[in-house]
């Protein structure tokens, strides 16, 4: 934003009005900025869960909570699902010969599920599903929907900022 001001009372009052109008627009633009970045994250999450390989349950809910605090905004993006951690960090060595880069940071990865005994078996394992039928599993490939969403959001920050804030 550029202001031209003369050293007169009316010019100063006009500059104050322009600054107040600009200040009001910043809060609105901050909300738009956060929402746009979050929507990009949601797209990545949905795409990554959609291509997850393995037999993990892909049903999930992705939520976005937007909060405004005066002149700034915050977005909280979360994913809930029974097997979302398997999709994020992987399950079974068949699909995940090594842990994804972010698994150990959070204490997850192949072989860390409590009570697991076959994660490191390249031939997979058998389990009984909810209907009582035996099922063979190789686990799930780590597709890291949240990590990839975070990375994409970070890469898009400048582009979205230019679109939302323009030349302010």
Whole-number Å distance between alpha carbons of 117 and 120: 8
Say what the pLDDT of residue 43 is: 97
Q: pLDDT averaged over consecutive 10-residue blocks of the chain (168 residues)?
A: 82 88 86 95 97 94 90 91 93 86 81 80 87 93 95 96 86
Q: Distance of CA 116 to CAs 86, 120, 123, Å?
A: 13, 9, 15
Q: Where do the structural domains in the chain lie, given as residue ranges?
A: 9-165
Whole-number Å distance between alpha carbons of 76 and 111: 30
């Amino acid at each position: 934003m550029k202001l031209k001001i003369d050293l007169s009372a009316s010019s100063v009052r006009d500059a104050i009005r322009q600054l107040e109008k600009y200040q009001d627009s910043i809060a609105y633009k901050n909300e738009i900025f956060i929402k746009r970045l979050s929507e990009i994250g949601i797209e990545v999450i949905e795409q990554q869960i959609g291509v997850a390989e393995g037999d993990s349950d892909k049903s999930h809910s992705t939520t976005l909570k937007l909060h405004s605090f005066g002149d700034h905004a915050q977005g909280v993006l979360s994913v809930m699902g029974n097997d979302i951690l398997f999709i994020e960090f992987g399950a079974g060595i068949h699909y995940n010969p090594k842990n994804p880069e972010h698994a150990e940071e959070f204490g997850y990865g192949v072989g860390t599920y409590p009570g697991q005994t076959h994660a490191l078996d390249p031939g997979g394992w058998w389990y009984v599903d909810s209907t009582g039928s035996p099922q063979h599993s190789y686990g799930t490939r780590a597709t890291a929907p949240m990590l990839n969403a975070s990375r994409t959001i970070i890469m898009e920050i400048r582009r979205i900022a230019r679109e939302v804030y323009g030349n302010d």
